[in-house]
Amino acid sequence: MPISVAIVEDNSDLAEEITQIIADAPDLRLACCCRNMRNALSRIPAAAPDVVIMDINLPDGSGIEATARLKQQLPGSEVMIFTIYEDSDEIFQALEAGASGYLLKRASTDELLHSIRDLMDGNVPMTGEVARKVIHSFQKKRPCAPSANTAADKLTPRETDILELLAKGFPSKEIASLRCISVQTVNSHLKSIYDKLHVHSRTEAVIKYLG
Amino acid sequence: MPISVAIVEDNSDLAEEITQIIADAPDLRLACCCRNMRNALSRIPAAAPDVVIMDINLPDGSGIEATARLKQQLPGSEVMIFTIYEDSDEIFQALEAGASGYLLKRASTDELLHSIRDLMDGNVPMTGEVARKVIHSFQKKRPCAPSANTAADKLTPRETDILELLAKGFPSKEIASLRCISVQTVNSHLKSIYDKLHVHSRTEAVIKYLG
DNA sequence: GAAAAAATCCCTAAAATTGGGGATGCGGCC
DNA sequence: GGCCGCATCCCCAATTTTAGGGATTTTTTC
């Protein structure tokens, strides 16, 4: 059974090109091709395609919004964003809206085909740069709260460093290995921190730091 | 120039198998093969491989910890987790620690090879299920507006009450007497709270609540 | 009224944290 | 040289927290 694909793309040339690519692929079938959000929202639910290739920049709205609304009606369909934008916010918004893939328009024909099949296999096709951004945002959990360090500037650099790790939720053992020191040392620093902040537990120290 | 690969894997059979796969690939070169964390941490920095294939379950520690420490010394090397665990927490921890890929051990030889080359191309190889989990966590992690607590509104009134006390820094014993219940009851509620918030410590719960 | 959820309490065991002692180097400063 | 702050590590003991099992009663929900 061929994979049915719908396209939402306002650029006629590009839409034609993709249409042709789908048509040429023996295992794919074109279910629907829309030029704007209104058509997409009215026609795609009826077509119930396996995969929707979605442009972000549509004349009458955003592909992200369209994604969110389509996913409500068609939770079983996979939406792949296909766009020139690689702005982090766009990416996150699209993923939040329920997109399962994020391909940049500079991708090759092969990449596009491969991504569609990937989607059906349960994979999450993403351009490398996009995946990096997603992963990266994971790796920096909480970079905020820099300025008003309240009354805790009596801490030594090391203590401040460790307090920041505390505020990210790491247990002492993790802190020790992240900083390549022993748990006892972490312990000593904690004792100093509690002393200087006038608190008696890890939780209180974190509250003081975050508050 | 071949891609140099280091392996950290305590299972001898599997380690041999991977070694063979690397040896058979013309564009790969085995830089180092370690059976435990201690060796990995002492030998891999010297070898400075392009890619590290890292098991999570090591006899003398966690591959995640090893990843964090290696990435400190070798920010240019890419670490790919290779494990049987697909627990969400493990995945997130690994990504936070700096891993750039996450492959499940049931992956085929081809997938392994492809993933290594992917890594060098700047992609982020992930088994489909893993990618899904990452994306999924995004789909409900990002909208962290102060109003929509999503995860926290599944808490029962009592649990919410206790979480608020936690966030004020009270130890369990205090909470118990403030609410005229036993410490064990506080304990039970804490267990439910941690479970629902997907955290494993008092501090993490408070951070989540205050964040 | 039965089923489900919430709240309460209990036990046990392992792990982590807290709080007291120290001790050793290292670098700045007077 | 001597002093002091900083970072590191160690020992020990008491306490707290985490995590696994339950069990019971009340309240809510269907």
CA A147 – CA A102 distance, rounded (Å): 35
Whether B43 and B133 share a structural domain: yes
Q: How many domains does chain B have?
A: 2
Whether B55 and B82 share a structural domain: yes
Average pLDDT rounded to a whole number, residues B99-118: 80
> What pLDDT is stored for residue A143 in this prediction?
32
The answer to the question of residue A144 being in a domain is no
Whether A119 and A161 share a structural domain: no
CA A102 – CA A118 distance, rounded (Å): 12
The angle formed by the CA atoms of residues B6, B9 and B15, to the nearest 5 degrees, is 80
**Domain range enclosing B90:** 3-139
pTM exceeds cut of 0.95: no
Q: Are B126 and B103 in contact (CB under 8 A)?
A: yes
The answer to the question of residue B147 being in a domain is no
Q: Which amino acid is at A155?
A: L
* Per-residue pLDDT tens digits for A77-99: 888 888 887 666 677 777 777 78
Average pLDDT, chain A: 80
Burial class, B115, CB count within 10 angstroms (exposed 0-12 / middle 13-18 / buried 19+): buried
The answer to the question of residue B111 being in a domain is yes
Beta pairing partners, B30: B5
> What pLDDT is stored for residue A136 in this prediction?
60
Q: Which nucleotide is nearest to A203 (CA to C1')?
A: C17
Structure tokens at B141: 């992690």
The answer to the question of residue A143 being in a domain is no
**Residues with Cβ < 8 Å from A137, sequence gap 6 or more?**
A88, A92
Mode of pairing for the β-strands spanning B78-83 and B51-54: parallel
Of B82, B104, B139, which marks where a domain is finished? Answer: B139
Between B96, B98, B207, which is nearest A210 by CB?
B207
Provide, as residue numbers in chain B, all residues whose Cβ is less than 8 Å from the Cβ of A121.
128
Q: Which nucleotides of C are covered by protein (CB under 7 A)?
A: 5-11, 16-22
Average pLDDT rounded to a whole number, residues B3-18: 88
- Of chain B, the end-to-end C-alpha distance in Å amounts to 47
Q: Are B170 and B178 in contact (CB under 8 A)?
A: yes
Cα separations in angstroms, A34 against A38, A53, A60, A88, B29 = 9, 10, 12, 26, 49
* B133 to chain A: closest CA residue: A124
Whether A131 and A189 share a structural domain: no
* Per-residue pLDDT tens digits for A175-187: 888 788 889 999 9
The answer to the question of residue A146 being in a domain is no
Q: Which amino acid is at A69?
A: R
Whether A133 and A160 share a structural domain: no
- In B58-92, which positions are buried (b, 16+ CB within 10 angstroms) versus exposed (e)? beebbbbbbbbbbbeebeebbbbbbbebbeeebbb
CA A145 – CA A157 distance, rounded (Å): 16
Whether A179 and A119 share a structural domain: no
> What pLDDT is stored for residue A89 in this prediction?
65
Cα torsion at A87, A90, A95, A100 (round to 10°)? -70
Whether A26 and A84 share a structural domain: yes
pLDDT tier, A53 (very low <50, low <70, confident <90, very high otherwise): very high
> What pLDDT is stored for residue B148 in this prediction?
37
* Window from A77-81, A146-150, A190-194, B205-209 with minimum mean pLDDT: A146-150
Of B139, B162, B189, which marks where a domain is finished? Answer: B139
CATH number of the domain within which A169 lies:
1.10.10.10
* Per-residue pLDDT tens digits for B20-67: 988 888 888 898 899 888 888 888 888 888 899 998 888 777 788 888
Average pLDDT rounded to a whole number, residues B172-199: 87
Whether A32 and A131 share a structural domain: yes
Whether A25 and A73 share a structural domain: yes
CA distance A26 to chain B (A): 24
**Residues with Cβ < 8 Å from B112, sequence gap 6 or more?**
B18, B21, B53, B82, B103
Nearest to A195 by CA among B128, A187, B141: A187
Q: Which of B86 and B81 is assigned the larger pLDDT?
A: B81
pLDDT tier, A131 (very low <50, low <70, confident <90, very high otherwise): low
Please say if the pLDDT value at position A145 is more than 70.
no
Q: Are B129 and B137 in contact (CB under 8 A)?
A: no
User: What does the DSSP assignment read for B41-86?
Assistant: HHHHHHH--SEEEE-SEETTEEHHHHHHHHHHH-TTSEEEEEES--
Structure tokens at B93: 């921890």
CA B96 – CA B193 distance, rounded (Å): 23
CA B124 – CA A17 distance, rounded (Å): 28
> What pLDDT is stored for residue A196 in this prediction?
83
* Per-residue pLDDT tens digits for A151-174: 455 778 888 888 888 888 888 988
Question: What is the distance in angstroms measured between the alpha-carbon CA of B39 and the sugar C1' of D17?
Answer: 33
Of A107, A138, A169, which marks where a domain is finished? Answer: A138
User: What does the DSSP assignment read for A68-111?
Assistant: HHHHHH-TTSEEEEEES---HHHHHHHHHHT--EEEETT--HHH
Please say if the pLDDT value at position B101 is more than 60.
yes
CATH number of the domain within which B61 lies:
3.40.50.2300
pLDDT tier, B134 (very low <50, low <70, confident <90, very high otherwise): low
Which residues are in reach of strand C, CB within 7 A? Answer: A 171-173, 187-188, 190-191, 194, 200-203; B 156-159, 179, 181-182, 184-185, 187-189, 201
* B61 to chain A: closest CA residue: A177
Share of chain B above pLDDT 90, in %: 7
Whether B62 and B113 share a structural domain: yes
Whether A101 and A12 share a structural domain: yes
Provide, as residue numbers in chain A, all residues whose Cβ is less than 8 Å from the Cβ of B168.
207
Instruction: Please indicate whether, in this complex, the C-beta atoms of A139 and B201 are within 8 angstroms of each other.
Output: no
Whether A27 and A102 share a structural domain: yes
The answer to the question of residue B37 being in a domain is yes
Average pLDDT rounded to a whole number, residues A198-207: 89
> What pLDDT is stored for residue A103 in this prediction?
82
